[in-house]
């Protein structure tokens, strides 16, 4: 999965979570997740990705004039194709292992409860475990070969050792997560209780919810909801 795919997943994900929402709201939400530090997503790339997704028909842009506003505001909703794309990106993010880039995995973990059902999450994380096992085995083979040939400098085997211990630690963590999910932890798509979490008092998300109701009313009036 490319770095741009992680940005794509995150932007589609917040669209699904908060639609209809304007670009500033979506940008503010993603920055509150600190995506600029762990996913290398900068504020400008969020707007750029929204424009790309709109061109590709994965989100719809609605220019709405609300109340006494003079200028319309660009509000975004996802299309069925966009929601299908998001599901595929989250599934790949959960299962595909990249040794030194965990951004897609973190993004998929952030979005999986609202995108996938419990059984599907279990299936994709189980596949991740298999992929981790393969990565560990390959790292061990490489370390053994480096030590046997003695062609590479001594520190090289130590570097490959990092490629062994990191997936080993992740494997243990994923096994624990899978155990919790199988035991009923968390709430996933299609299960009761998905609306049980609410923002803390004073959180900007409350304003987003209020504005969302305004956007919904205008879109319903236009018959523009899919």
Q: What is the pLDDT along the chain (226 residues), one digit of tens a residue?
A: 555 899 999 999 999 999 999 999 999 999 989 999 998 888 889 999 999 999 999 999 999 888 777 788 999 999 999 999 999 999 999 999 988 889 999 999 999 999 999 999 999 999 999 999 999 999 888 888 888 887 778 787 778 788 889 999 999 999 999 999 999 999 999 998 766 566 677 777 677 778 888 888 888 888 877 6
Phi, psi of 75 (to 5 degrees): -120, 140
Instruction: Give the number of other Cβ atoms within 10 Å of residue 42's Cβ.
Output: 12
Exposure string (b/e) for 67-104, b if CB count within 10 Å is 16 or more?
eeeeeebebbbbbeebbebbbebbbbbbbebeeeebbb
**What distance in Å separates the CA atoms of residue 223 and residue 51, rounded to the nearest whole number?**
23
Could you tell me which of 37, 51, 38 has the C-alpha nearest to residue 8? 51
Q: What is the pTM of this model?
A: 0.89
DSSP 8-state symbol, 199: P
């Amino acid at each position: 999965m490319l770095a741009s795919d992680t940005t794509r997943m995150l932007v589609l994900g917040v669209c699904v979570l908060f639609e209809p929402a304007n670009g500033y709201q979506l940008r503010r939400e993603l920055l509150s997740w600190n995506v600029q530090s762990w996913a290398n997503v900068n504020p400008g790339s969020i707007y750029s990705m929204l424009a790309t997704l709109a061109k590709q028909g994965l989100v719809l842009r609605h220019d709405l004039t609300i109340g006494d506003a003079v200028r319309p505001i660009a509000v975004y909703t996802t299309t069925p194709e966009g929601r299908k794309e998001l599901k595929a990106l989250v599934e790949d993010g959960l299962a595909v292992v990249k040794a030194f880039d965990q951004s897609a995995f973190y993004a998929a973990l952030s979005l999986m409860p609202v995108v996938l059902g419990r059984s599907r999450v279990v299936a994709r994380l189980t596949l991740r475990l298999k992929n981790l096992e393969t990565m560990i085995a390959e790292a061990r083979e490489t370390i053994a070969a480096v030590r046997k040939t003695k062609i590479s400098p001594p520190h090289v085997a130590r570097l490959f050792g990092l490629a062994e211990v990191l997936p080993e630690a992740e494997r243990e963590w994923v096994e624990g997560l899978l155990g919790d999910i199988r035991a009923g932890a968390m709430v996933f798509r299609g299960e009761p209780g998905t609306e049980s979490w609410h923002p803390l008092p004073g959180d900007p998300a409350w304003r987003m919810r209020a504005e969302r109701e305004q956007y919904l009313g205008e879109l319903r009036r236009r018959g523009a909801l899919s």
